Amino acid sequence: MAEVVDVRSRILAANEEAASALRSRFHADGTLVVNLISSPGSGKTSLLEATVPALRDRHRLAAIEGDIATERDADRLRRLGIPAVQILTGGACHLDARQVRRAVDDARLGVPDMLFVENVGNLICPTAYDLGEDFKVALLSVTEGDDKPFKYPAIFARAAVAVVTKIDLLPHVGFDLDAVRAELSTLNPAGTVLLTSARSGEGIAAWCGLLEARLAAKRGGAG
């Protein structure tokens, strides 16, 4: 057991070193980096598909997509006119900072104002890996059930923003929104909770407003 723990510690230490270098780079470039984490099918890519048209005329946007296989998610964003680099993990359940560093070196990404990192669909493994991001976003769709925050507390405690997605389906599913709000508040009292629907557009303006406010804050108030 001690050897397993030591190996994990070395892996995380190497990741932290790479993440620190990335964070310095993003700070120098003035790039806001958002790490999106959720279970599969929660709507990460759909949220980005609603975000890009709302922001692309005012900001340079780019994305890094993490998946076990296929470039489908990256292709969806490329069709919206932004650069997207796909990382294929070949079975690994999360992205790490060294993978992100290689993707950032891809000339296609340029130097964006906002960089979205769509992590591999998983509520557990990505939580422990710093990618040099400004903040983590945990997504929870109403179709998943309302028990997820307390079942997967680490990610909901660490994510600065929790986004409840697919709220257009609330009338059709048994999802206790008040209970979810209470659990999220318990796990992260300082966190922000947003309600969105990529289909109807509800909540997208608030989400984009949050992103622009965070970008301005990172740049010292410059819009």
Tens digits of residue pLDDT in 176-213 = 999 999 999 999 999 999 999 999 999 999 999 999 99
Task: Please name every residue paired with 195 in a beta bridge, in sequence order, or none if there are none.
Answer: 164
**Residue 63: pLDDT over 90:** yes
Any domain includes 223: no
State the residue range of the domain holding 190: 2-218
Any domain includes 165: yes
Tens digits of residue pLDDT in 116-172 = 999 999 999 999 999 999 999 999 999 999 999 999 999 999 999 999 999 999 999
**Residue 5: pLDDT over 70:** no
User: What total number of domains does the chain contain?
Assistant: 1
Q: How confident is the model at residue 101 (pLDDT cuts 50, 70, 90)?
A: very high
Q: What is the pLDDT of residue 33?
A: 98
Which parts of the chain are beta strand (E)? Answer: 32-37, 61-67, 84-88, 114-118, 135-141, 161-165, 192-195
CA distance linking residue 82 with residue 38, whole number of Å: 22
Q: Which pTM value belongs to this model?
A: 0.94
Instruction: Residue 150: give its domain's CATH number.
Output: 3.40.50.300
Please name the residue that has the structure tokens 């680099």. 85
